[in-house]
Amino acid sequence: MKSQENTFDGVGASHSELLTRRQAAAYLGVAEQTLAVWKCHARYFLPCVKIGRIVRYRKVDLDNFIARHMHGTEQPRFSQ
């Protein structure tokens, strides 16, 4: 089992990687402005860390966002 280095708040270091809006947008394959619009209009629930004017996204939150929006991953059920 792999051990994780804990940060001061008990969250593993690999779970607290912060990405800039540009990095997060590239990771999701959308424009930076799209993330800003989603946040402003509450279009999607995508948590972010905001300190003053600085906005950062946790990679784990981006991965969860992707997982929540997966379509077509279940096999169709046919009635007999």
Q: What is the pLDDT of residue 65?
A: 93
Tens of pLDDT, residue by residue, the chain (80 residues): 444 444 444 444 544 689 999 999 999 999 999 999 998 898 898 999 998 989 999 999 999 999 998 887 565 566 55
Q: What is the pLDDT of residue 11?
A: 46
Cα 15 from Cα 64, distance rounded (Å): 12
What length is written for the chain?
A: 80
**Do 33 and 21 touch, CB atoms closer than 8 A?**
no
**Topology annotation, domain 13-67:** Molybdopterin biosynthesis moea protein, domain 2 (3.90.105)
Question: Token digits for 70?
Answer: 């997966």
Q: What is the pLDDT of residue 75?
A: 57
The domain ranges of the chain are 13-67
Q: What is the pLDDT of residue 70?
A: 86
How many Cβ atoms are within 10 Å of 23's Cβ, its own excluded? 16
User: In the Cβ-directed half-sphere of 1, how many Cα atoms lie within 13 Å?
Assistant: 2
